[in-house]
Structure 1
Amino acid sequence: MTENKKLIIGISGASGAQYGIRFLEACQALDLETHLVISKAGEITITQETKYSVADVKALATETHNSMNIGASIASGSFKTNGMVVLPCSVRSMSEVATGVTSSLLTRAADVTLKERRKLIIAIRETPFHTGHLRTMTQLSEMGAIIAPPVPAFYTRPQSVNDIVDQFVGHVLNLLSIENSLSKTWTGLGK
């Protein structure tokens, strides 16, 4: 099921850089082709929230793209992919994609993903949401995006933050129809 999978991964400046990093690690373990774009704010968040350098994170991807290079391959619909994940996604990035007024390669690639009717998963990382945020999410959902905030699943009885991150990353892979062993499947009520 993972043959010929080509994904674009965007890491924006929202808190939760570990989700994007773990997603890249999972894709690498599954031998998926990944095209990474990190916003300038995303680079700052990586260094503030994790033990990784930006270079470490970029090394996890098959190919990386400069966030200001709007002429990159992933900016065109002719660059065929199986979808894009923005993980984590800031409110700013989400809003740019929803309006089509994009200022970076990250939001341009997401906009292209939508226009080409490919899967776009927006892992919005903000709380609480005000009505404007909710309307923007509704607008994106109506346009075909999947809105997937990184909300922990406690039925898995996580023992660590890594367990919570893995469960969500596995769930996102499932949304892309990519089999994985990170997410635990609900099997019904236990006895």
Structure 2
Amino acid sequence: MAEYPRERQVTLALSGASGAPYALALLQCLVKAGIQVHLLVSGAARVVLATEQGEQWPGKPEALAAWLAERFGADPGQIRAYGKEEWFSPVASGSGAPKRMVICPCSMGTVAAIASGASDNLIERAADVVIKEKGQLILVPRESPLSEIHLENLLKLARMGVTIMPAAPGFYHQPQSIADLVDFMVARILDHLGLDQALVQRWGYGGPES
């Protein structure tokens, strides 16, 4: 099993907001880019996956990691999954956690918990670790309309250096399918992670606006 340096590791968490297609496409791209993915999936995220994708993911972390590795063609150990209270996992400590984390999709409940430092489950704790270690945390929230509570929590996190990237795809690349809209958001996430992407042509490079 290959050892991955921390700069080639990303924590990917799925919480209970709508947007399962974004998470699946992002996971596929991270694997393809040779990134080791530390995967966290909330119970509500499993409900969303079943509702939006018709998928029932294995419940045990080891089985889930193996199932996803086969699905996405990952190398042995490239995808590591953890339970919601697996406090001895690498993502629970600043000495072992990746410096980069994406929560996609991110529910407003998760936003609120992170903003308050609740750390009641491993997703919240992992996010807390990234913030305290001055790493890169990207949240992909999906809610509409946004209440004052939502906005205050998001602003609080943004002021801490968290990147708030709402699931709001653009249309200037003339999408022809839902997959094109998904690719737009995933491309923006990859950009912020510093990973090359060929999903969407960058603004000003070819296309009708050039």
In structure 2, relative to structure 1, the CA distance for the partners of 1:108 and 1:115 (3 Å cut) is same
Q: Does 1:173 align with 2:180?
A: no
Whole-Å separation in 2 of the counterparts to 1:138 and 1:102: 19
Q: Does 1:138 align with 2:155?
A: yes
Q: Does 1:124 align with 2:124?
A: no
- 2:9 aligned residue: 6
Residue 101 of structure 1 deviates from its aligned partner by: 0.9
- 1:182 aligned residue: 199
- 2:20 aligned residue: 17
SS in 2 for 1:158: coil
- 1:49 aligned residue: 52
Which of 87, 110, 113 lines up with 1:96 in the alignment?
Answer: 113
Contact 1:167 1:183 in 2 (8 A): yes
AA aligned opposite 1:190: E
Contact 2:97 2:129 in 1 (8 A): no
CA RMSD of the aligned region, Å? Answer: 1.8
- Counterparts of 1:41-120 in structure 2 under 5 Å? 41-55=44-58, 58=65, 59-60=68-69, 62-120=79-137
Unaligned runs of 5+ in 2: 70-77
Which of 26, 29, 33 lines up with 1:30 in the alignment?
Answer: 33
AA aligned opposite 2:209: G
Q: Mean Cα displacement is larger for which, 64-73 or 24-33?
A: 64-73
AA aligned opposite 1:16: G
Whole-Å separation in 2 of the counterparts to 1:122 and 1:182: 20
In structure 2, relative to structure 1, the CA distance for the partners of 1:107 and 1:36 (3 Å cut) is same
* TM-score relative to the length of structure 1: 0.92
Whole-Å separation in 2 of the counterparts to 1:124 and 1:137: 9
Residue 51 of structure 1 deviates from its aligned partner by: 3.6
Task: List structure 1 segments (4+ residues) > 3 angstroms apart after TM superposition.
Answer: 55-58
Residue 44 of structure 1 deviates from its aligned partner by: 1.2
Contact 2:90 2:97 in 1 (8 A): no
SS in 1 for 2:103: strand
Residue 80 of structure 1 deviates from its aligned partner by: 4.1
SS in 2 for 1:64: strand
Identity among equivalent pairs (%) = 31
Q: How many residues align?
A: 189
Whole-Å separation in 1 of the counterparts to 2:85 and 2:10: 19
Whole-Å separation in 2 of the counterparts to 1:68 and 1:41: 15
Unaligned runs of 5+ in 1: none
Whole-Å separation in 2 of the counterparts to 1:81 and 1:173: 16
- 2:166 aligned residue: 149
Contact 2:40 2:83 in 1 (8 A): yes
